[in-house]
Amino acid sequence: VRIMDKKDLKINVLKKVIILILFVIILSEQKSNLIFVLGDSTEEREKTIKINIEYSQMLSSAQNPINDTTAPKIIFIQPSNNSIISQKSYNIIINITDDSAPLPGNVIIQISNFTTPLFNASMSSTVDDYWIFNWNNLTSYANRETYILQVWAMDSSLNGNFDWSEEYYIYINTQNSPGILTMILYLIIFSALFAVVCVYLDKRTVYKLSKKERKNAKKDL
């Protein structure tokens, strides 16, 4: 009986070992399948990303050709060269033609006199390749002087081609007419002076009359 018990024990242990081995084998296969699936998913994702990048580069190349080596062509619409500006505010308008249109911030106008640049400013894009800059407060600049306008532009191609426009000369002759508040102030001052003069004349007239009356009174005496 003791021998049979040992034999049964060995058989039971052997069964458990076999079951454990089978379990480990099955688990290993599932893990390898999972790794394989994850590997396939990662590879597919990398392929998709690569395709998207290549597609984006293709679109960028189509929109902004790599072989674009031509700088933007800048033409002034207004003002015309050697024109006279009498307004207090003026819109400067240009047209830019290029296969790769400039981006906002890449069109700069420079305004200067014959000695030094006064300021640079970004121009705003409108429609149909037109760009505009509103130059206001012209009365704050020296009147009856000549100013130089010049525009710099860089296209949006990968080469970043850029160029300057021709220099345009304008003559500013603004009429500094007084404002409403200034006119009211002048009117108040004029009215006050007129009142003072009237009071002075009235007093002088009264004084003369009183003096004449005193003389007449003395004669009567």
The 10s digit of each residue's pLDDT in 184-206 is 776 777 677 777 777 777 667 76
Give the model's pLDDT for residue 37.
46
pLDDT band for 150, please (50, 70, 90 cuts). Answer: very high
- Shared domain for 183 and 168, answered yes or no, is no
CA 33 vs CA 26, 28, 39, 64: distances in Å: 11, 9, 10, 46
The one-character DSSP state at 104 is T
How many other β-carbons are positioned within 10 Å of the β-carbon of residue 124?
12
Nearest in space to 92 (alpha carbons), one of 57, 119, 55, 62 = 119
Q: Per the domain annotation, does 148 fall within a domain?
A: yes
Give the model's pLDDT for residue 5.
59
Average pLDDT on 62-66 reads 55
Domain of 119 in residue numbering reads as 73-172
Nearest in space to 101 (alpha carbons), one of 64, 134, 150 = 64
Report the CATH number at residue 154.
2.60.40.10
Q: Distance between CA 51 and CA 137 in Å, rounded?
A: 54
Express as a percent the part of the chain with pLDDT over 70. Answer: 65
- Shared domain for 132 and 200, answered yes or no, is no
Domain count, the chain: 3
* Cross-strand bridge partners of residue 124: 132
Give the model's pLDDT for residue 179.
53
* Cross-strand bridge partners of residue 152: 108, 164
- Shared domain for 160 and 186, answered yes or no, is no
- Shared domain for 155 and 94, answered yes or no, is yes
Q: Within 13 Å and on the Cβ side, how many CA atoms surround 182?
A: 4
Q: Distance between CA 221 and CA 215 in Å, rounded?
A: 10
- Shared domain for 127 and 163, answered yes or no, is yes
- Shared domain for 53 and 123, answered yes or no, is no
Higher confidence at residue 95 or residue 54? Answer: 95
Q: Per the domain annotation, does 68 fall within a domain?
A: no
Does residue 13 surpass a pLDDT of 80? no
- Shared domain for 142 and 184, answered yes or no, is no
Give the model's pLDDT for residue 75.
96
In terms of phi and psi (left: phi > 0; alpha: psi -120 to 50; beta: otherwise), the region of 105 is left
Give the model's pLDDT for residue 136.
92
pLDDT band for 73, please (50, 70, 90 cuts). Answer: very high
User: Residue 91 is encoded by which pair of tokens?
Assistant: 């819109």
The torsion defined by the Cα of 210, 214, 217 and 219, in degrees rounded to 10, comes to -130
- Shared domain for 91 and 149, answered yes or no, is yes
CA 79 vs CA 84, 91, 143, 192, 196: distances in Å: 9, 8, 17, 46, 51
- pTM listed for this prediction: 0.52
- Shared domain for 142 and 83, answered yes or no, is yes
Q: Per the domain annotation, does 220 fall within a domain?
A: no
Q: Per the domain annotation, does 11 fall within a domain?
A: yes
- Shared domain for 155 and 115, answered yes or no, is yes
